[in-house]
């Protein structure tokens, strides 16, 4: 690395658990991190699903290197066998880590990264590229400014870019017009969002665990609200193709949620609509009607779109990235995580080799590195950043792991 370049900080985009972990490892290696967080606090996205209990225990969700730093103060380590909510993860781990003096001095809140490029180099220009600093355009409280860095670690996540309801991957016709009645992700229907759903008919769209969490909370609310109806729309036929997991699922809390949803279905507590591919949302007064291939669902008052998330890659458009066209993850990572190719219950350990791009010293890590694939665990992200920051220190090319062969991957 060019000597002048090596004196610059390493930019970390996002102050969630993975971004903060990256900062800890950078400090341990003698680098100076500069952390940009668009929100008003570290882990801002966690507050949006703070009511949701995680499938993995505390032991999966904290980085040993960060724990070592926290233990230098008066931090109390949580019971590692317990399962935190998003709120507990935020309050008992992320915020204490962000507020630690060694991290806080490098953390810039309310600073959104708009663009990342190379100084005086657009994506087309090659000469001298690798010895040229990155430049990050930042929108902060005092306006826009540029910051230079020797490397960039993008840990900005995906929660800010949910998938649309539309089956084509774009908004359904009428989706934007109905936005006041649509929520994306897992709203807090038993807490701050309770009044929005009480005595209403609600349609949940999506076949993943976010949908399961929303459904179980809505059914619980309906026990106190006689006028409620809970509808669920999925693409699959039959619905048993959605609510199933191996009996030996490593994450038993995930398995327990699926068993609970199966029981609610058997009790008739949820009105299920299968084979639904949303193309249009029309309005009948204050009610919404979802249409799918000529079929119309019953009118509802509210829709919850639990349809997953996607990465926003536009910020990196002036950099040379290799992104898999299907998963929208780094190309060499894609075969390890692509749900279209295999049914691995666990992803092989991977790191800098799989996360690298033609643009040297650029890495996308954390859940954003998984693109649209839904199987990310925080402990995977912690291993990613350890590998990435080790690679910054090394002149050797990291060795990629081999993908599992479909369909016999370990569950």
Q: At what angle do helices 378-392 and 17-28 cross, to 10 degrees?
A: 30
pLDDT at 268 over 70: yes
Show the tokens assigned to 91: 């309050």
Provide mean pLDDT across the span 274-288: 97
Provide mean pLDDT across the span 177-186: 97
pLDDT tens sequence across 386-400: 999 999 987 655 556
Domains and CATH numbers, the chain: 3-160+309-392 (3.50.50.60), 179-305 (3.50.50.60)
pLDDT at 316 over 80: yes
Q: Residues with Cβ < 8 Å from 301, sequence gap 6 or more?
A: 181, 200, 201, 202, 286, 287, 288
d(CA 68, CA 143): 36
pTM of the model: 0.92
d(CA 243, CA 209): 9
pLDDT at 19 over 70: yes
Output the CA–CA distances (angstroms, integers) from residue 206 to 18, 135, 164, 184, in the order listed: 26, 39, 11, 11
Provide mean pLDDT across the span 374-385: 94
């Amino acid at each position: 690395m060019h000597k002048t370049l090596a004196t610059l900080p390493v930019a970390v985009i996002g102050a969630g658990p993975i971004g903060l972990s990256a900062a800890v490892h950078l400090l341990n290696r003698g680098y100076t991190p500069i952390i940009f967080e668009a929100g008003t606090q570290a882990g801002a996205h966690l507050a949006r699903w703070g009511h949701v209990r995680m499938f993995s225990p505390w032991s999966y969700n904290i980085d040993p290197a960060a724990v070592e730093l926290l233990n230098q103060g008066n931090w109390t380590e949580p019971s590692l066998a317990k399962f935190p909510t998003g709120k507990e993860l935020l309050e008992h781990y992320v915020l204490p880590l962000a507020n630690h003096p060694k991290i806080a001095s490098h953390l810039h809140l309310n600073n959104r990264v708009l663009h990342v490029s190379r100084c005086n180099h657009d994506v087309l220009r090659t000469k001298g590229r690798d010895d040229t600093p990155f430049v990050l355009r930042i929108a902060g409280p005092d306006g826009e400014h540029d910051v230079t860095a020797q490397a960039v670690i993008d840990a900005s996540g995906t929660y800010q870019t949910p998938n649309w309801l539309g089956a084509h991957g774009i908004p359904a016709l009428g989706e934007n017009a109905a936005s006041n009645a649509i929520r994306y992700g897992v709203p807090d229907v038993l807490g701050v969002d309770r009044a929005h759903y009480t005595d209403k008919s609600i349609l949940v769209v999506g076949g993943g665990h976010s949908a399961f969490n929303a459904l179980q909370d809505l059914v619980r609310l309906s026990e106190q609200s006689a006028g409620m109806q809970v509808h669920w729309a999925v693409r699959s036929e039959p619905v048993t193709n959605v609510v199933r997991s191996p009996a030996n699922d490593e994450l038993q809390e995930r398995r327990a949620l699926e068993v609970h949803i199966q029981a609610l279905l058997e009790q008739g507590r949820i009105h299920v609509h299968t084979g639904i591919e949303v193309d249009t949302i029309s309005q009948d007064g204050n009610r919404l009607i979802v249409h799918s291939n000529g079929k119309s669902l019953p009118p509802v008052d509210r829709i919850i779109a639990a349809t997953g998330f996607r990465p926003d890659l536009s910020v990196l458009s002036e950099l040379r990235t290799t992104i898999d066209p299907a998963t929208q993850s780094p190309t060499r990572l894609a075969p390890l995580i692509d749900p279209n190719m295999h049914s691995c219950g666990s992803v092989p350990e991977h790191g800098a080799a799989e996360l690298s791009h033609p643009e040297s010293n650029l890495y996308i890590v954390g859940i954003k590195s998984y693109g649209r694939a839904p199987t990310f665990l925080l402990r995977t992200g912690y291993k990613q950043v350890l590998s990435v920051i080790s690679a910054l220190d090394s002149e050797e090319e990291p060795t990629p792991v081999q993908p599992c062969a479909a369909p016999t991957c370990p569950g």
